[in-house]
Amino acid sequence: MLIKKELEVVIMKKLILWFLLATFSLNTVGCSNNANSLTDKSNCINKAWYKKTMSCNHLKKH
């Protein structure tokens, strides 16, 4: 029983390390979600939905 618990702990540690490595890699490459740009885009989309003439050209293209 003790060996099974130790194995679960090792697996969890590896999963956490892989998750952190993937997160760091994506942030380094530039695939992170910037909360400010997401908010700006969602506000523009919401306004454009109600007002068809709204332009979203001020948003930075990626």
Which three-class secondary structure string do you get for 6-24? HHHHHHHHHHHHHHHHHHH
On whether the pTM is more than 0.75, the answer is no
- In the chain, what's the furthest Cα-to-Cα distance? 66
Q: Which amino acid would we find at residue 54?
A: M
Distance between CA atoms of residues 27 and 32, nearest Å: 5
Report residues of the chain scoring pLDDT below 70.
1-2, 29-62
Neighbours of 40 (CB within 10 A): 15
pLDDT of residue 62: 47
Name the token pair of 31. 């695939």
